[in-house]
């Protein structure tokens, strides 16, 4: 990757932008006929979700990713619009293929502008399906999608960085490329955006159609418990999906805004396949975050509802912290993550006592795990080892995956799978796509799951899933 010193206001000067792109084109050779140009510029603070609403088209890929951590001062929101270059791939080597694609693209990229600011330069947005191969003929998302957007806008505190990425080829009209960039930049920066600050109440009735009914799910849980008792496996996560039909098409932006206002402690995300379908959610679970070689991941397993009163809530919280069944389920996830990291030569650190992650309608046992990462270990190599964790699959993993395939009638697609971003230096952040929904016009499929271990009760597991599904049902408009 070539880095060129900062040029002020390059995106706002047509002639200067055109000349820079022309110089890049003239540097191409017969052997090296294509380059990617990445231009970063600081702009007046905007809401990336509002920009997504105004600029994105249904026929374009997009990625939205937001996490609010006001106490830690790490809140950020990213909107990635359209695709400059992308890769879709399937198979057991999909994480390796994604890593190679990112590496080769970065090596072929010229960066210019405010490259020292956070979230500047090229970022790659990734969605990996739960399984490495699609079995269902109507799967909306490939097993892996990685794309470099044409436009990326990120807000962190009161700072806002805009990144434009463009493909430069020997036989392309550079003047047209420069004009398109200049006009889109002007549109993003000068448009008056509607403020998305209040929740939108749903006044429409939603028709719910379970993919498999309650009795079928409880039968699956009982069958799984019998196999657990016979030592065939020790845990399996079974998901439940419901089809939801609205009287009018769902509003992607209003639904996302409701999620970020209702669940500020969660990752709020949306990704599009460029064909009109969107996968959205509010996930409490970080799969992996790496910044300056510091890794952070979450062991999140063991759940209880929130109480209706302060005393009732405290009682439920204490019951969760003392639950032998939930602590055992939680420890399985910790052991798995520690084992997987250790096999890569990484030494994890964590507290022996789990904490509580309390959301508005549910609370979980939570253990953050940290580690120092050697520079030669790529984030995607770690991701390939961690996904899927026992929190969304089971133990042993291969047996649990085979049983999930057999027992679940709905294609998981991106449900319970990694979604996130990676920058040019290997920093990145991925959430687990739980508490999620696939939106397709006036129809949606909502997903939630529950971990089945010895001591699980079918009625309680079903109630837990229904509680998780309610989070999406309340947000969709």
pLDDT of residue 71: 52
Of 335, 404, 431, 434, which is closest to residue 131 (Cα–Cα)?
Answer: 404
Of 410, 408, 454, which is closest to residue 232 (Cα–Cα)?
Answer: 454
Q: Is 429 a catalytic residue?
A: no
Instruction: Tell me the torsion sign for CA atoms 397, 400, 222, 134.
Output: positive
pLDDT of residue 457: 95
User: In the structure encoding, which two tokens stand for residue 461, read together?
Assistant: 């597991």
d(CA 8, CA 235): 56
Of 366, 365, 363, 301, which is closest to residue 332 (Cα–Cα)?
Answer: 301
pLDDT of residue 12: 74
| Residue carrying structure tokens 């309650």 | 214
Of 199, 376, 210, 372, which is closest to residue 294 (Cα–Cα)?
Answer: 372
What's the CA angle centered on 77, arms 72 and 78, to 5 degrees?
Answer: 140
**One of 66, 67, 150, 285 is an active-site residue; which one?**
285
d(CA 24, CA 3): 12
Q: What is the mean pLDDT of each run of 10 residues along the chain (477 residues)?
A: 63 85 89 92 94 92 89 82 97 98 96 88 97 87 98 93 95 92 90 79 76 86 96 95 93 95 94 96 96 96 93 96 95 96 97 93 95 95 97 95 91 96 97 96 95 94 91 90
State the CB neighbour count (10 A cutoff) for residue 104. 10
- Residue 443, CA atoms < 13 Å, CB-side half-sphere: 8
DSSP class per residue in 122-185: -EEEEEE-SSSS--STT-SS-SEEEEEEEEEEEEETTEEEEEEEEEEETTS-HHHHHHHHHHHH
Q: Are 163 and 3 in contact (CB under 8 A)?
A: no
Q: 3-state DSSP: the chain helix, strand, coil percent, rounded to 5?
A: 30, 35, 35
d(CA 263, CA 265): 5
Count Cβ neighbours within 10 Å for each residue of 260-284 and write b for 16 or more, e otherwise: bbbbbebbbbbbbbbeebbbbbbbb
Q: Are 241 and 211 in contact (CB under 8 A)?
A: yes
DSSP class per residue in 357-404: EE-SSEEEEEEEEEEE--TTS-HHHHHHHHSSPTTTSEESHHHHHHHH
pLDDT of residue 51: 95
Rg of the chain in Å (alpha carbons): 23
- Give the list of residues 6+ apart from residue 353 with CB closer than 8 angstroms, or none: none
Q: Is 235 a catalytic residue?
A: yes
Q: Are 404 and 393 in contact (CB under 8 A)?
A: yes
pLDDT of residue 8: 56
Q: Where are the alpha helices (DSSP H) in 230-347?
A: 252-262, 310-322, 324-343
Q: Are 168 and 34 in contact (CB under 8 A)?
A: yes
d(CA 240, CA 435): 11
Give me the helix-helix angle, 48-55 and 252-262, nearest 10°. 170
Of 143, 174, 178, which is closest to residue 164 (Cα–Cα)?
Answer: 178
- Give the list of residues 6+ apart from residue 237 with CB closer than 8 angstroms, or none: 390, 391, 392, 393, 394, 400, 404, 416, 449, 450, 451, 452
**One of 150, 235, 429, 468 is an active-site residue; which one?**
235
- Give the list of residues 6+ apart from residue 104 with CB closer than 8 angstroms, or none: none
d(CA 122, CA 125): 10
d(CA 380, CA 129): 14
d(CA 179, CA 177): 5
pLDDT of residue 199: 72
Q: Are 170 and 33 in contact (CB under 8 A)?
A: yes
């Amino acid at each position: 990757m070539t880095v060129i010193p900062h040029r002020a206001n390059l995106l706002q000067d047509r002639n200067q932008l055109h000349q820079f792109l022309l110089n890049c084109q003239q540097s191409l050779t017969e052997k090296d006929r294509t380059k990617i140009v990445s231009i970063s510029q600081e702009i007046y603070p905007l809401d990336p979700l509002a920009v997504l609403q105004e600029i994105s088209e249904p026929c374009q890929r997009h990625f939205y990713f937001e996490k609010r951590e006001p106490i830690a001062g790490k809140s950020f929101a990213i909107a990635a619009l359209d695709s400059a270059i992308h890769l879709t791939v399937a198979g057991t080597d999909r994480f390796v293929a994604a890593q190679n694609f990112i590496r080769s693209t970065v090596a072929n990229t010229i960066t210019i502008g405010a490259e020292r600011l956070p979230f500047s330069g090229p970022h790659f947005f990734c969605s990996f399906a739960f399984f490495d191969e699609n079995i269902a003929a109507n799967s909306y998302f490939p097993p892996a999608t990685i794309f470099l957007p044409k436009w990326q806008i990120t807000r962190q505190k009161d700072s806002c960085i805009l990144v434009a990425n463009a493909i430069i080829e020997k036989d392309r009209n550079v003047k047209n490329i420069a004009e398109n960039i200049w006009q889109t930049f002007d549109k993003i920066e000068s448009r008056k955006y509607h403020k998305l600050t209040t929740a939108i109440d749903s006044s429409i009735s939603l028709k719910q159609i379970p993919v498999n009914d309650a009795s079928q799910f409880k039968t699956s849980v009982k069958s799984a418990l019998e196999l657990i008792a016979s030592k065939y496996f020790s845990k399996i996560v079974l998901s439940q999906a419901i089809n939801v039909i609205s009287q009018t098409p769902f509003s992607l932006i209003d639904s996302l805004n409701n999620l970020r206002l209702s669940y500020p402690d969660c990752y709020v995300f949306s990704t599009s396949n460029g064909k009109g379908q969107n996968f959205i959610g509010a996930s409490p679970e970080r799969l992996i975050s790496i910044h300056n070689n510091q890794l952070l991941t979450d062991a999140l397993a063991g759940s209880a509802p929130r109480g209706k009163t302060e005393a009732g809530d405290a009682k439920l919280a204490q019951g969760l912290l003392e639950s032998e069944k939930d602590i055992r389920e939680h420890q399985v996830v910790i052991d798995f993550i520690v084992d997987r990291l250790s096999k890569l030569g990484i030494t994890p650190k964590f507290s022996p006592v789990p904490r509580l992650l309390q959301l508005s309608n549910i609370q979980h046992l939570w253990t953050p795990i940290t580690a120092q990462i050697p520079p030669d270990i790529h984030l995607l190599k770690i991701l390939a080892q961690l996904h899927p964790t026992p929190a969304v699959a089971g133990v042993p993993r291969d047996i649990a995956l085979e049983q999930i395939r057999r027992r679940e009638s709905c294609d998981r697609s991106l449900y319970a799978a990694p979604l996130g971003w990676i920058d040019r230096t290997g920093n990145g952040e991925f959430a687990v796509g739980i508490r999620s929904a696939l939106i397709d016009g006036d129809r949606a499929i909502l997903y939630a799951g529950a971990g089945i271990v010895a001591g699980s009760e079918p009625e309680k597991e079903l109630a837990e899933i229904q509680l998780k599904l309610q989070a999406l049902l309340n947000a969709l408009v």
